[in-house]
Amino acid sequence: MFYHDDELQFEVTVEDPNPRFAKLLQQAIGGAEGEMRVALQYMFQAFAVPQEKQEIRQFLMETAVEELGHIEMLATAVSKNLQDASDEARREAGEDAIIDEMMRNGQPRQALSAGLHAMPVDANGNPFTGNYVVASGNLAADLYANVMAESTGRLLATRLYEFTDDPGMEEMLEYLIARDTMHQNQWHAALEALGEHRPVPNSFPQEKENQEYNYAFMSTYKDERDDPDQPWTQGEAPDGKGEFSYTPRQPGGGQPDLDEMIDEMYNEVN
């Protein structure tokens, strides 16, 4: 079960409200690299953990719940970038300026649909989608998905950092970047703790797979090309179960030989 309290995980202040930056921050809320994705991804991964691995469930869930708090921080940051001091103060300062800036460089739906607040969308206004969530039921696959999510997430945060020089926003991002450092590390640590887990899934009997092509780099270059002598064309494969080779693959599957479809499909091709 879930709980909350009234405080943010980390302070969120904005000196100079900036609607353009509010729009960029939306990517960190509802985008492919954002906090809604990781919060829900870790949560659905946790939901699938069997009881005897309770420590894994807690590990995933505690991080999921931290990410919910990051959404809260970022939503606060969006609102603060879209407003100024008090209503009265803004009126005196000529609030049209911020509205105008909003309309030019902000996200129009933040005014039209949300009254100048955060939305579950990305920086282009695309709605968050459940498609972003990876929860495969296989822990190793999930952990790689998490490493990827935190890598692109930290990359996003560092890029956002380049687009602001508001001290409050910088401090908030320095905090979020630090948390992404931790989270990248913790998923790597868990993968190491899993031990022998490659190739994923490692419970599939590897002798069943085609033994001729499971460690061969196949060139699809139009003309035959020599082995480029790369780390992926020779030497031992990282899973320790095979030796890389290089093959200028010639197709071998024959032509696709479909029959005509039954008349009831009205597929005439004549």
Among 138, 166, 226, 227, binds its own copies (CB under 8 A): 138
> Measured from the CB of residue 18, what is the shortest distance to its own copies in angstroms?
10
Q: DSSP letter at 202?
A: T
Residue 121: φ, ψ to 5°: -135, 170
Among 22, 130, 226, 227, binds its own copies (CB under 8 A): 130
* Contact set for its own copies, span 146-185 (CB under 8 A): 147-148, 150-152, 154-156, 158-163, 171, 174-175, 177-182, 184-185
Alpha-carbon span 248 to 218, nearest angstrom: 6
Nearest alpha-carbon partner for 143 in 206, 103, 187, 102: 187
Among 85, 94, 97, 165, binds its own copies (CB under 8 A): 85
The residues, ordered by sequence, that sit 6+ positions from 158 with a Cβ below 8 Å of its Cβ are 177
* Contact set for its own copies, span 110-129 (CB under 8 A): 111-129
Does position 75 interact with its own copies (CB under 8 A)? The reply is: yes
Q: Is-contact 36 64, C-beta < 8 A?
A: no
Among 16, 92, 94, 103, binds its own copies (CB under 8 A): 103
> Measured from the CB of residue 35, what is the shortest distance to its own copies in angstroms?
12
Q: Encode burial over 176-190: b for 16+ CB neighbours within 10 A, e otherwise.
A: bbebbeebbebbeeb
The residues, ordered by sequence, that sit 6+ positions from 118 with a Cβ below 8 Å of its Cβ are 26, 29, 74, 75, 78, 79, 110
Tokens describing residue 171: 């401090």
> Measured from the CB of residue 213, what is the shortest distance to its own copies in angstroms?
5
* Contact set for its own copies, span 219-238 (CB under 8 A): 219-223, 228, 230-232, 235, 237-238
Tokens describing residue 7: 């405080």
* Contact set for its own copies, span 28-57 (CB under 8 A): 30-33, 36, 40, 43-44, 47-56
